[in-house]
Structure 1
């Protein structure tokens, strides 16, 4: 099976697939044959148009209600990324950012501070994830949230994290010996 192709048990990732397509097109361009490179880019464009038209028809047939397959389709990361790629997603950016945060909320709490549509910068506040407060745990949480946002709302160019107030230090837990008990205790 070619590298980057999904097997029956895995789901392709839109971001990784896009990078792979760009890599293949770049390799063809580096060979110096402009005709082959142009033909490859045209092939990608024709396929995008074809699949986009098919997705548009599917979205038309599933309707606009909360019943049927539409809600499940909009919760699916792969379907969402394809709909956004083809400018067919029925939800606006704010709703999709919210859906992305909801998809990881059980493990990683975050809330939107601000989204600047002109620059594509999303500012988030980290919620209390119940972790140990270690930097590596926070980094993992940030990476998971950012990956979900990239999938559901690819128009977000960067994510900036705000800290709640000053840098919070974990509460210090004092461990000492138990006070004496019994007759000798005051």
Structure 2
């Protein structure tokens, strides 16, 4: 695993497309039991090198009901974005994750993560990649039908403050999905 992580952290496959440079950000250990698949690091994470080191990460840990120590314990959580480097700013937020990363690196990573019991899919890029034919026409429908993907996958919206309106429009998410998320994580962590 350490050799693979070193290779990923040295990857420059998308360097020509990244004006802020490459800085692959991920965490993994062969003992990890939960995988968090997000989109790509934001500008703050690009600077710190710590995944989910921003307001989105605070909300995500709150949704999961885990402490930062638990979240960053690589023997519990593997944190693997769809794109490992910050893709840069677009017109209405960050650009999409670079498409090169997941096809090149996710399978080799998961081949070395034999203990994963739950894969949390954050946002439409992760959901489309992993759920393939199981993804619905919208992220809202995919998340609303989260039970279709359990016990292996649990799709979530992005916890970004930019999604506050979505959360207000979809109160069922915090009522129906968050308790199941917390229950599954607690069950896995305490086993």
Task: Point out the structure with max Rg over C-alpha.
Answer: 1
> TM-score normalised by the shorter chain: which range applies?
under 0.3
TM-score (norm 1): 0.28
Work out which structure has the larger RCO, using CA pairs closer than 8 Å and 6 or more positions apart in sequence: 2
